[in-house]
Structure 1
Amino acid sequence: MGRTAAILAARLIFAGVFAMAAGFKFAGMPDTAAYIAAAGFPVPLLLAWLAAIFEVALVLAFLTGAFFSEAALLGGIYVIFLAFAFHGPSHWEGNQAEFGFFVDHFTFLAGLLYAWAHGPGERLAIRRGVLAQA
C-alpha cells in the first residue's frame, strides 16, 4: 500500500509541475515568447505554444499512465534542454542563483529517469505505450 501511494504521489507531483508550467505559459504566452526570444531562439511564439501543448501532453500521460515511460523519458530530455538553454553556464556569471536553477533541473531529471525505468505502477495506470514497462 505504501509503495502504491508513493508512486501515485510522484505521478501527481510530475503532473502538477508540468501543469503549472503549462498554465503559466497559457496565461502569459507573450511573456513566455519574449523569454524564449531573449535566449536567442527563432519563432518564439510558436515555440511557446509548442512547449505549452507538450507540457499538457506530459500531464495527461502522468495522470493516466498511458505512454508513461515515453513521457518520462521525453520529459527528462526536455528538462535538461531547458536547464542548458535558460539556466546554463552562460547565465551563472551575473546571477549565482541561475546555477541553483540549473542544478535543480538535474534532480527533476533523476526522478523522471527513475519513472521511465520503473513505469507508472500497478494502480490507476492505462498500460499503453511503445517502450516496455517494468
Structure 2
Amino acid sequence: MSPEIAQSPLRTAGLLVARLIFAAVFLMAVSFKFMGMADTAGYIAAAGFPFPLFLAWCAAILEVLLVVAFLTGAFFSQAALVAAVYVLFLGFAFHGPGRWAANQNEFGFFVDHFTFLAGLLFAAVHGPGKVLSLNLGWPGRA
C-alpha cells in the first residue's frame, strides 16, 4: 500500500466506520440476548444444542468482549478472527443447508453470514488503524 493511501483521511475514516459497524452489529445481537435470554436459549435448544441457557450466556459474554475490542481497537485482529469463526459457526448451525428446504429465506441468512465473514477477515488483516485505537495485540499491526 502506498504511503499516501496508508496515511489518508479516507482510510482512517473507513477503518473507524468499519469498527463502529462491527461493534453495532454485535451490540444489537447482545442487546437482544439480554432482553430475552430465555428466548435466545430456546432458539439454541431448537437447533439441537445442549445446555442452551449456558450457551446463550457464553454467546452474550463473547459478544460483549467483541464490542469492546471493536470500539477500542484492543486485540482487534484477534477479535476479528474470533468473530469470523463465530459468524461462520452461526451461519452453519442456525441457517445451514439442512434448513433451506423448509424455509428458503434461511439460504439468504446463510449467505449474509459469509458477507460478514469476508469483512471480518479483511479487518483482521488490516487492523484497527492508528486513530482512537489502543493497538494492543500482535506486534506490528496498525
Q: Residues 8-87 of structure 1 correspond to what in structure 2 (within 5 A)? A: 8-87=16-95
TM-score by length of 1: 0.97
1:89 correspondence with 2:97? yes
Gap regions ≥5 residues in structure 2 = 1-8
Report SS of the residue matched to 1:94.
coil
Give, in angstroms, the shift of residue 132 of structure 1: 5.2
Higher Rg of the two aligned structures:
2
Q: What percent of counterpart residues are identical?
A: 68
SS in 1 for 2:106: helix
Partners of 1:131 and 1:45 in 2: how far apart? 37
RMSD: 1.0
Classify the secondary structure of the residue corresponding to 1:128: coil
Q: Classify 1:54/1:97 alpha carbon distance in 2 versus 1 (closer, same or farther; 3 Å).
A: same
* CA drift at 1:8: 0.3
How many Å separate the matches in 2 of 1:6 and 1:83? 26
TM-score, with normalisation over the residues of structure 2?
0.92
Equivalences, count: 134
User: 1:93/1:113 Cα in 2 relative to 1: closer, same or farther (>3 Å)?
Assistant: same
